[in-house]
Amino acid sequence: MEYRDFPKGAGRISTVGIGGSKLHAVSEKEMVEMVDFALESGFNTIDLAVETADVFPKVRKALEGRRDKFMLGLHLGLTFQEDGQYKRTREIGEVAGGFERQLAALGTDYADIGYIHYVDDIDDYNNVFASGTYAFALKLRRQGRIGKLGFASHRPDISRKFLEDCEFDLFMFSINPAYDLDPVTHNPLEEDLSSLNALSVAQERAELYRLAEKLGVGITVMKSLGAGRLLDDRTSPFKRALTIPQCIQYCLDRPAVLSCMVGISSVDELKGLAAYYNAGNAARDYSVIADMNLEGMQGRCVYCNHCLPCPSNIDIARVNKFLDLAQVGDKLAHQHYLNLEHKAGECVECASCEENCPFHVAVRDKMKEAQILFGH
Ligand code: SF4
Ligand code: SF4
């Protein structure tokens, strides 16, 4: 096992942790077995941004008598509807109540890490403050009911604003080689893009990682495997599968990254993650992505947003990203899609995006697919 120290305050985190996105599919017995294996192997953290409320009592059972061995990541602004399904909220009564109910269901009175849940647009960013969510989060940290305070986002511009305006210990951000790809250089390993006038996606993301490192704010990674899409030739934007060790190593090599939180639903999948630690340098080497050429990637979206502007103000990269994630079974992607201000159904088929896309993605078809899948 390998660990990294938190830049602020005490403690260290295993460089791979258990993500919550697939835990709804795990029985209580499997949860106990997973935690047994995790503790034997040295994993020390689990993130609980989960789809359904029934995950919490299973985690409670699995942690009985050993709560202190595991760092729990809970999310402020995540609550559950009466049927137990995930709901995101900024209503402060629901934020506070949701947090207390998560703790009660886990049989604990503190979260080792508390994230302000999933902030991906500027209105919601402002609402984090206007609703009192940020003040509440600071109070919880002062009281010791949250050990380390963070936020979760997929957006580099929003994350940067949080880093510049607030006092966080860490944040959860989606990173993998495809998300970091720049279609101008084709090369996600390339961070020196100073010849470009406007910030490219790759440059904006690389600058965020460097800023976090400079400020002493750690990053925990979500989507390090692209919800599994990067592991299969048929679904990877590279049209060539990467391995789990390659994806994890790529993320761990970004500045400020502490740990990859990988969604799993079985002990076997956890064993697959543990294999990272037995992989040698050659197996972890991801330099193959530097050789993946633009021609080989035609037709698959890498979420760069070079296709904008869209006359309907659709955030095409995020629609495509949520569509791709939902198609490989990520149910939270459906919820995230519903939070988008402009949905795929608003596409007027002007085709300007397809003229701008360096990967010749059939965006109009993707919008139709998204509209059918998500219903909007
Ligand atoms: S459709 Fe093309 S330009 Fe738009 S985000 Fe996807 S890859 Fe980038
Ligand atoms: S084709 Fe649709 S998604 Fe593309 S720019 Fe036009 S309206 Fe936007």
Query: Which CATH number belongs to the domain containing residue 87 in this structure?
Result: 3.20.20.100
DSSP summary character for residue 24: G
| Residue 124: closest CA among 341, 376, 344, 374 | 341
Q: What would the pLDDT profile of 334-371 be if each residue is shown by its tens digit?
A: 888 998 999 999 999 999 999 888 778 999 999 999 99
Smallest-distance ligand from the CA of 353: 2
Which of 253, 270, 294 corresponds to the end of one domain? 294
Establish whether residue 181 lines the binding site of ligand 1, counting it when its CB lies within 6 angstroms of any ligand atom: no
User: Poorest-confidence range of 25-39, 69-83, 86-100, 297-311?
Assistant: 297-311
Q: Give yes or no: residues 179 and 312 share one domain.
A: no
The residue whose C-alpha atom lies closest to atom 8 belonging to ligand 2 is 310
Query: Is pLDDT above 50 for 192?
Result: no
Measured between alpha carbons, how far is 71 from 54 in angstroms, rounded to an integer? 19
pLDDT higher for 130 or 203? 130
The answer to whether residues 46 and 59 touch, using CB atoms and an 8 Å cutoff, is yes
pLDDT of amino acid 197: 45
Smallest-distance ligand from the CA of 306: 1
DSSP codes, 78-93: EEE-TTSBEEE---HH
Measured between alpha carbons, how far is 266 from 270 in angstroms, rounded to an integer? 6
Q: Give yes or no: residues 13 and 155 share one domain.
A: yes
Q: Give yes or no: residues 158 and 108 share one domain.
A: yes
| Residue 20: closest CA among 93, 86, 96, 77 | 86
| Residue 267: closest CA among 11, 20, 36, 9 | 36
Q: Give yes or no: residues 217 and 347 share one domain.
A: no
Can you tell me which atom of ligand 1 is nearest the CA of 366? 1
Q: Which residue has the tokens 């002062």?
A: 142
Partners of residue 72 on adjacent β-strands: 46
Measured between alpha carbons, how far is 336 from 319 in angstroms, rounded to an integer? 10
Establish whether residue 352 lines the binding site of ligand 2, counting it when its CB lies within 6 angstroms of any ligand atom: yes
pLDDT of amino acid 185: 57
Token reading at 251? 């993320």
The answer to whether residues 120 and 153 touch, using CB atoms and an 8 Å cutoff, is yes
Query: Is pLDDT above 90 for 44?
Result: yes
State the pLDDT confidence band at 60, using cuts at 50, 70 and 90: very high
The answer to whether residues 17 and 45 touch, using CB atoms and an 8 Å cutoff, is yes
Establish whether residue 316 lines the binding site of ligand 1, counting it when its CB lies within 6 angstroms of any ligand atom: yes
Measured between alpha carbons, how far is 285 from 353 in angstroms, rounded to an integer? 35
Establish whether residue 34 lines the binding site of ligand 1, counting it when its CB lies within 6 angstroms of any ligand atom: no
| Residue 225: closest CA among 173, 176, 281, 269 | 176
Which of 266, 294, 322 corresponds to the end of one domain? 294
Q: Give yes or no: residues 65 and 37 share one domain.
A: yes
Establish whether residue 179 lines the binding site of ligand 1, counting it when its CB lies within 6 angstroms of any ligand atom: no
pLDDT higher for 26 or 190? 26
Establish whether residue 163 lines the binding site of ligand 1, counting it when its CB lies within 6 angstroms of any ligand atom: no
% of the chain residues with pLDDT over 70:
94
pLDDT of amino acid 189: 61
Token reading at 10? 């005490």
Q: Give yes or no: residues 303 and 290 share one domain.
A: no
CA distance to 205, 237, 350, per residue, from 356 (Å): 21, 18, 12
Number of domains comprising the chain: 2
Q: Give yes or no: residues 277 and 321 share one domain.
A: no
Establish whether residue 347 lines the binding site of ligand 2, counting it when its CB lies within 6 angstroms of any ligand atom: yes
Q: Give yes or no: residues 56 and 116 share one domain.
A: yes
**354 CA from centroid of ligand 1 (Å):** 8
The residue whose C-alpha atom lies closest to atom 5 belonging to ligand 2 is 310
Which of 294, 318, 350 corresponds to the end of one domain? 294
User: Poorest-confidence range of 94-103, 227-236, 248-257?
Assistant: 227-236
Query: Is pLDDT above 60 for 193?
Result: no
The residue whose C-alpha atom lies closest to atom 4 belonging to ligand 2 is 353
Establish whether residue 359 lines the binding site of ligand 1, counting it when its CB lies within 6 angstroms of any ligand atom: yes
Q: Give yes or no: residues 315 and 361 share one domain.
A: yes
Q: Give yes or no: residues 186 and 231 share one domain.
A: yes
The answer to whether residues 18 and 266 touch, using CB atoms and an 8 Å cutoff, is no
Query: Is pLDDT above 70 for 190?
Result: no
Measured between alpha carbons, how far is 275 from 283 in angstroms, rounded to an integer? 10
Q: Give yes or no: residues 234 and 204 share one domain.
A: yes
DSSP codes, 275-321: HHHH--HHHH--GGGGG--TGGGTT------TT---TT---HHHHHH
DSSP summary character for residue 241: P
> What sign has the CA pseudo-torsion 85, 88, 93, 96?
positive
Can you tell me which atom of ligand 1 is nearest the CA of 300? 7
Boundaries of domain holding 308: 298-374
Q: What would the pLDDT profile of 149-188 be if each residue is shown by its tens digit?
A: 999 998 999 999 999 999 999 999 999 998 888 665 555 5
Winning range, highest mean pLDDT, from 22-31, 79-88, 226-235: 22-31
The answer to whether residues 266 and 22 touch, using CB atoms and an 8 Å cutoff, is no
Q: Give yes or no: residues 268 and 308 share one domain.
A: no
Measured between alpha carbons, how far is 224 from 251 in angstroms, rounded to an integer? 7
The answer to whether residues 166 and 255 touch, using CB atoms and an 8 Å cutoff, is no
Establish whether residue 305 lines the binding site of ligand 1, counting it when its CB lies within 6 angstroms of any ligand atom: yes
Mean pLDDT estimate for the chain: 90
